[in-house]
Amino acid sequence: MISADLNGNIALVTGASRGIGRAIAEVLASQGAHVLLCARSAEDLDRVASGITEGGGSAKCVVTDVSREPDVVNAISACRAHGRLDILINCAGIGVFGPVVETTTEDWDRIMAVNVRGAFLMCREGAPIMPEGGCIVNVASVVGVKGYINQGAYTASKHALMGLTKVLAQELQPRGIRVHALCPGGVDTELVASARPDLDRSILMRPEKVAEIVLFLVGQTGNAVVDQINVRRAVSSPWFG
């Protein structure tokens, strides 16, 4: 198990109520970080927070729709109460799957609002209160570097997130803030299950394995920077790598 000394660190994780986001929040808390849990469901967030505190960790729930600017400002204000934000994990994401010609404008806009606008807002509001040594991890996807049939809107959003990440990495480097892109392939989450109900979930990666990679990234020190990590399972799938 990878470990990192995160005692005293303030971390914010979006999409923290389930799946990869929840696993990331739990592993950061296990290493000593105080984690602000952001998602839309107060009930789901409470369950995650209870599990963290029962295990000896520290967490606070901040109900947040990342596509709404006032919600994001409120979440970052919770970090300001601690004086800073050391770790920002942008993991909130949604997907609508089907041919491009059958994708509605409403679905396109909704995916972009969460997957791209949400990360943009979090980075814009959060970066100014990050100290030297701060870290941002944008959880993209294998479709951020590839394209798969029936995933046009989702793929476009993740490509946009990759572009945002690359620019932020350069803009924040002079302040000593690292910005990473993490691109996992098929992970056993509700999003994948809804998109591919026919898929054998036992062959997918576990969210906890992705969380371990995030822990590796946030624990990096020195002047060597990992810009991007692509991670896939050993056997490929025609949809998820």
Does residue 236 sit within a domain? no
CA distances (Å), 74 to each of 65, 68, 69, 121, 122, in order?
10, 10, 9, 11, 11
Task: Kindly report the CATH number assigned to the domain that includes residue 177.
Answer: 3.40.50.720
CA–CA separation, 138 vs 24, rounded Å?
12
CA–CA separation, 37 vs 35, rounded Å?
6
CA–CA separation, 187 vs 240, rounded Å?
8
CA–CA separation, 221 vs 122, rounded Å?
23
Amino acid at 19: G
CA–CA separation, 85 vs 136, rounded Å?
10
Q: Does pLDDT of 21 surpass 80?
A: yes
Residues 90-146 have pLDDT tens digits of 999 999 999 999 999 999 999 999 999 999 999 999 999 999 999 999 999 887 878
Does residue 240 sit within a domain? no
Q: Can you give the pLDDT at residue 235?
A: 61
Does residue 68 sit within a domain? yes
Q: Can you give the pLDDT at residue 29?
A: 98
**Residue 136 near residue 92, CB atoms below 8 Å:** no
Give catalytic status of residue 148 as yes or no: no
Q: Does pLDDT of 239 surpass 70?
A: no
Residues 173-232 have pLDDT tens digits of 999 999 999 988 776 677 766 666 677 677 777 888 989 999 999 998 877 788 888 877
Q: Can you give the pLDDT at residue 222?
A: 75
The residues, any chain, with a CB within 8 Å of residue 95's CB and separated by 6 or more, are 111, 151, 153, 154, 191, 195
Does residue 152 sit within a domain? yes
Q: How many domains does the chain have?
A: 1
The H or E element that residue 179 is part of is strand 178-184
Instruction: Select which of 14, 116, 122, 154 is catalytic.
Output: 154
DSSP E strands, 3-86: 10-14, 34-39, 58-63
Q: Does pLDDT of 45 surpass 80?
A: yes
Q: Does pLDDT of 61 surpass 90?
A: yes
Does residue 2 sit within a domain? no
Q: Which domain holds residue 37?
A: 10-231
Q: Can you give the pLDDT at residue 188?
A: 60
Residues 138-174 have pLDDT tens digits of 999 887 878 888 889 999 999 999 999 999 999 999 9
